[in-house]
Every structure is written in C-alpha cells, then in structure tokens.
Chains A and B, each alone.
Chain A
Amino acid sequence: MWVYILKRFLVAIPMILIMALATFLLMGSTPGNYLDTIRMDPQVSEETIGYYQHLYKLDRPLLEQFFYWIKNLLRLEFGYSFHYNVPVTRIISARLLNTFILSFASFVLTWAVAIPLGIWAAVHRNQWIDRLIQLFSYIFLSLPSFFIAMILLYWASQTGVLPLGGMYGPDYDQLTLLGKIGDILTHLAIPTVALSIGSIAALQRIMRGNMLEALGQKYILTARAKGLPENKVVYHHALRNAINPLITLLGYEFSSLLSGAALIEIICSWPGLGSLMLTAVRSKDIYLVMTSMLMGGVLFIIGNLLADILLVKVDPRIRYD
C-alpha cells in the first residue's frame, strides 16, 4: 500500500513539472511583465527597474528563468510576488486555507444531501417524489453556479439575512472564538450553497442509479426472501454496495470543486486561491500564478490518493500491490 502511494507521488512529480514548464513558457512568451506596470509610474527610476529585472532574472532567457524557479523550488522557496511584494507562500498559505474551507464545506454539504436524496429517490422509484427530485436535479444541473450565486446574493441583499460576500464581518476581531466561527459560517453559506447545488444534483443521480442497480441484485432478493426488515435490506445490503463506485468519484469531485470554487470565490469575493489567481493572471504576477497552479495540482493529487486509500478501506477486495 505504502509503496503504491509512493509510486503515485513519484509519477506525479514529473507531470507537474512539465505542466509548470508549459505554463511558464506560455506566460513568458507573451509580451510584457509585471515591471511594465511599475514602469508606468514616473516616480520609479530606470535603475530601480533594472535592479528588479536583474533580481528576478527577468533579463535572462525564459528557460533559464524557469530553472532558477525550479532550483528555488527544491529549497521550498516559491519566489516573490511582484504585486504584494512578499514571499508567495505567505499569501498563498492563507488563501489556500480559505479555498480549502470553502471546498470542504461544499463537499460535506454535497455528500450529506445527495446520498440520502439518491437513496430516497431509488427506494421510491418512479413515484411522484422520485420524479420531483429528478426534475429538480435536471434544472439544478443546468443552472450555472455563478447565476445561483448572483441570485442568492441578491436575495441576501433584499432580506439582509446573510452577509454579501467576503469572509469576515467588520467586527470580526472583537468577536469571541465561537462568534468568529459563527461569523465565518454565515459568510460561508452563500458560496457553499451556490457551489453545491449543481454537484448535489449530479451526485444524487449517480447515487440513485447505483442504488437501483444494487436493489436489482439477487442478494437483495435473498435478503427479502429470508424475511429481513426492509430497512435492513436497503441500508445494510444495498447501500454498502451502491456507495463503493462513488468513492472513486470522490477524488475527481474534489478537483472539480476546486475549479468550480474559483469562479464562486470571485463572484462572492471569498478570499481564496481562485480570486488570487485571477488578480495574479491579470497583473502578470508570474510566480504567484505558477505557485497557485502548483498548489491546485498538488491538492488534486492528494484528493485522488485519499480516494484510493478510502476505497481500500471500504472495499477489502481491492488491493494495490
């Protein structure tokens, strides 16, 4: 098992590096860099620009710049952000945590709602409740998440129930620990719901399909024939087999969550990795973009790995050696 995990990591490293190289070359091949923004300020002298150019090796060929970046990467130095003028790691670690909070909240909400809903729909197959759930899942699957976020924000502005975007209230620093958590949770509500609705619809459909398949199996017939209560048949025998294939989805789910979260972050002004990436891309803050990409890739690999490990725990038939 551990060998397998190690192998996965080793395979992932060159892939990430190639991807990073491609991004670096692509970004570098277009005209202009962040220094052009500084150059527009007449107070900044030509020498300062020259100094920065030399400091960040911007006067060197692109490939050489990349290898400097890689070299520093090995020492766990991710470079400086031009825009914020602090090490990239300091900005990203805070943002990464925020994105993780949002993704995790949405993840929990999605699974907590979609699984029971899927089971419910499967058990009441083709009854009106099932039809209703399927109709709504069709609608929510097709509603763009940014539209849901807009509508929710608008609703919040009309009723004043929930805060409009951001992560902290104005009085956040004066709150007690419990109050702080509550404050973040209320700010979390709209982006989480906007992010989850589509995934709930999708996951619910998959769960329903799996459940129906499991309920049609022979062992369910046996279980019913020997007189087990329906509850036990559904939750003990069918559910366990229906949920297995979903675990593999978990890893992918996480990555799509991350990328979906980016857009919602921008709309709800949630201070996460996605909104950071947008400003970085706009201002050509190259190291910030690179590191954000890198973190995204790493998060995805970890998500996939966790899914694989979980799969072994749930289904003892699967082995990786």
Chain B
Amino acid sequence: MINNNRHHSQFQLALQRFRGNKTAMACVFILGFLYFSAVFAEFLSPYSYKDEQRQYSYCPPTPVHFFDQGRLTWPYVYGLQLSFNEFYKREYVTDVNTKYRVKLFASGESYKLLGLIPTRVHLLGVESPGRIYLLGADSRGRDIFSRLIFGGRVSLSIGLIGVLISFTIGLLIGGAAGYYGGRVDNYLMRLCEMVIMFPGFYLLLALRSAVPDDFNSVQVYFAIILILSFIGWASLARIIRGMCLSLREREYVLAAKSLGVNDFHIITQHILPHTLSYSIFAVMLSIPGYILGESALSLIGLGIQDPFASWGNMLSDAMSIVRIKFAPWILWPAFFIFLTVICFNIIGNVLRDCLDPNLKGN
C-alpha cells in the first residue's frame, strides 16, 4: 500500500484525504441526490409544477396509511373533503370511506424524460381522483413536493452555471492583471474595485431593473445568472491576481516566454493551473452565494416568476406570517436551501484542508 502512494499525484492524495472525511462524503451524497432528483424531476414528482387544483389550496401533508384495521396493506391515502369551520377557516376533513391506493410507476401527465423519451410514468402516484400531497400544497393547490423537485432545477443549476461564468471571467482577468502588471493591472483592478465597491444587493437590484419586463422565464433565468456572475467575479479576480503576481516570476514562465509561447497560452496553461487548488474550494464556497442570490431575488418577486418554481419564489408565499401560521409546510424550500448551502460549505472547507494540509494542521 505504501508503495502505491508513490506514484499518486498531489491531487489524488488530496482526494484520498477527502474520502476519509465522513461528513464531507455524506454531503457529497446529499448533493448528488439533490442534483439527481433535479435531472429526473418529471419522473420523481407525482405532479407537474403547474398542476393546479384550487380546491386543495393549502392542503396539509397527506398521511400515507400502511395499516387497514390493524392489518398491513398496500399503502393508501384517504380522500379529503373541504369544509369551513365556525370561523370560516378552511379545514380539510379526511373522508374515511374513500380510499385511494398509492401507485408505484403510476401513469400521469405526459412528459419527455431527459427531454428525449416521451413517457407518462411517474415514480409515485395515487388513484384518481385522490391527490397525494407528501409535503402539503401551496396556495393554488399545487404539490409542494413536486415543486420542490422542479424548483431544485433552477436553484441548483444557477449555482453551477453562475460559478462557471464568473470563475472564467475572474480567472482570465485576474490572470491577465497579475501577468502583465503595470498599467493593465492598475486598470483591471480599478474595474474590480468598482464592482466590489457597491453593496451587492443594491447592484443586484439596479442590474435587475435593466432587464426588460417582457422577458420570458427562460430569459429571466439567464439574466439572473449573468447578473449574479457579474457581481461575483471581482473578488476572485483580485485574489487570483495576487497569486499570479508571484507566479509570473517563476523560471518556467521565463522558459515559456523565451520559447516564444504567446501570452494567452502562458496564462491559461502555465500560470492559472497553479491557482487550481485555491480555485477548487473557492468554487465550492461561492456556489451558496449564487443560490442565495437567486432565492433572494425570487423571494421579493424579481426573480423566477410563477408558475415556474424555484426555491426562492416558493418561499415568497411565506413572506406573510399568517400563511406560515396556517400552513407551516410552505417553509420546506427554506430547508432545502439550507441543506444545499451547508453541504457546499462543508465540502468547500474540507477540500481546503485536504488540498493544503500544511495550512492548518489540526
């Protein structure tokens, strides 16, 4: 075993250390599961994100019963009857006489799996006209569980794409500033400071105001990604620039230069790879910022618009305290935001310790 370690690269060693950390691996699995569910959202969700049933507005989570008169049976749910109590408050009374069996691989609304294969199969369903609300329903009677899965698509992908864009910009600008130094460095860094100087949320609002109102949801989605990356690249560029300032003095850069390699090639092939270990955990630690940014925008109604789901716009229902009181299940998206953010934070921190073991010996 010890011999094997010999021809392991730094990176493989770091990966080995990372695998040894149980908490971090658990986080990787949770995130993997969330991303998996986002990809197969149509299949995993019982209903579509826009499947409205107004008569089930704020329907509480449906309990799934496994026992019928003391005997184990195939899981079923009871039908619900909407009624109003003496204060005219909505109440859903379980109708014990109607039972709907829970169906696995039930056929429901048709969709295209992965955008390719047309099918009607959903992992979970219930005999019609019964409805199954595993985590309750929202104001229009849409299934929160389904919307959570669909919302994950937006919220989880915004983090990844946003980080990809802002890191590309940040690396290139930081690399160029650090490599050329002098006047280029000066101008580029002033540019960075300009972006950093304005409080992020104000900048977010100002930029959002520049997005035309008649954009459709897909356009708004990409606009939000662009806005978030525009705000995010500057702080990274500054750090990368600091690293490149010292890296450009190395001999191999001089060697590359004297061999006549062009500047772009030197920056991308010889200098930036050395900032990789920093970039990797910086990516992990900055993804939550994008997820939270999108949630914040959607929360105040400037982000993804109904009927499309994102964790942020699902939460905008919870801006009213009365609704939290009568339908606390509308807070589920907040839990998923929290779960995702904490996973990225833990993975980022553990990665940092693994990639740079002499940073802080514990």
Q: Name A's B-contacting residues (CB within 8 A).
A: 11-12, 15-16, 18-19, 23, 26-27, 29-32, 138-139, 141-144, 146-147, 150, 153-154, 157-158, 164, 209, 255-256, 258-260, 262-263, 266-267, 273-274, 277-278, 281-282, 284, 289, 292-293, 296-297, 299-301
Contacts and interface: CB of A to CB of B under 8 A. Distances in A.
Contacts of A262: 199, 201-202, 205
A26 B223 CA distance: 13
Contacts of A292: 202
A202 B204 CA distance: 23
Contacts of B194: 15, 18-19
Nearest to B212: A30
Interface in B33-66: none
B208 A281 contact: yes
27 contacts: A11-B190, A12-B197, A16-B197, A18-B194, A32-B213, A138-B342, A139-B342, A141-B345, A142-B341, A144-B292, A144-B295, A146-B296, A146-B315, A147-B334, A150-B319, A157-B325, A258-B199, A259-B199, A259-B201, A259-B203, A263-B299, A263-B300, A278-B300, A282-B302, A284-B209, A296-B199, A300-B199
Given A258-B199, A259-B199, A274-B202, A150 B342 contact: no
A209 B213 CA distance: 47
Contacts of B324: 150, 154
Given A27-B210, A32-B213, A259-B201, A153 B341 contact: no
Given A30-B212, A158-B325, 11 more contacts: A147-B334, A147-B337, A164-B321, A255-B199, A263-B296, A267-B299, A273-B202, A281-B208, A296-B198, A296-B199, A297-B198
A144 B212 contact: no
B101 to A, nearest CB: 37
B288 interface: yes
Given A31-B212, A263-B201, A281-B208, A142 B360 contact: no
Contacts of A18: 194
B201 A144 contact: no
- Name the 6 nearest CB pairs between A and B, nearest first: A26-B210, A259-B201, A142-B342, A259-B199, A281-B209, A258-B199
Contacts of A138: 342, 345-346
A281 B203 CA distance: 11
Contact of B197 (A263, A273, A281, A300): A300
A266 B190 CA distance: 31
A224 B180 CA distance: 48
Interface residues of B, number: 43
A248 to B, nearest CB: 13
Per DSSP, are chain B's interface residues mostly helix, strand or loop, or mixed? helix
A296 B321 contact: no
Majority-rule SS of A interface residues: helix
A27 B202 CA distance: 13
Interface of B: 190, 193-194, 196-213, 288, 292, 295-296, 299-300, 302, 315, 318-319, 321, 324-325, 331, 334, 337-338, 341-342, 345-346, 360
Contacts of A297: 197-199
B305 to A, nearest CB: 14
A27 B206 contact: yes
A154 B321 contact: yes
Given A138-B342, A263-B296, A256 B200 contact: yes
Contacts of A277: 202, 205-206
For B204, B206, B207, B210, the residue with the greatest tally of chain A CB atoms inside 10 Å of its CB is B206
B318 A150 contact: yes
Contacts of A143: 338
Contacts of B319: 150, 267
B48 to A, nearest CB: 27
Contacts of B211: 30
A230 to B, nearest CB: 23
B217 to A, nearest CB: 18
Given A141-B345, A153-B321, A26 B206 contact: yes
Given A154-B324, A154-B325, A23 B346 contact: no
B209 A289 contact: yes
B338 A144 contact: yes
A259 B202 contact: yes
B199 A157 contact: no
A139 B342 CA distance: 7
A144 B338 CA distance: 7
A165 B47 CA distance: 36
B89 to A, nearest CB: 17
A276 to B, nearest CB: 10
B334 A144 contact: yes
Contacts of B212: 30-31
A290 to B, nearest CB: 9
A262 B338 CA distance: 20
B298 to A, nearest CB: 11
A266 B202 contact: no
Contact of A274 (B201, B295, B321, B337): B201
B210 A30 contact: yes
A259 B200 contact: yes
Contacts of B200: 255-256, 259
Contacts of B346: 138
Nearest to B360: A209
Nearest to B345: A142
B263 to A, nearest CB: 27
A142 B288 contact: yes
B209 A29 contact: no
A11 B209 CA distance: 28
A15 B201 contact: no
Contacts of B190: 11, 15
Given A154-B324, A157-B325, A278-B300, A296 B295 contact: no
Given A150-B334, A209-B360, A260 B318 contact: no
A300 B202 CA distance: 12
A26 B300 CA distance: 21
Contacts of A256: 199-200
B356 to A, nearest CB: 14
Nearest to A156: B321
Contacts of B202: 258-259, 262, 273-274, 277, 292-293, 296
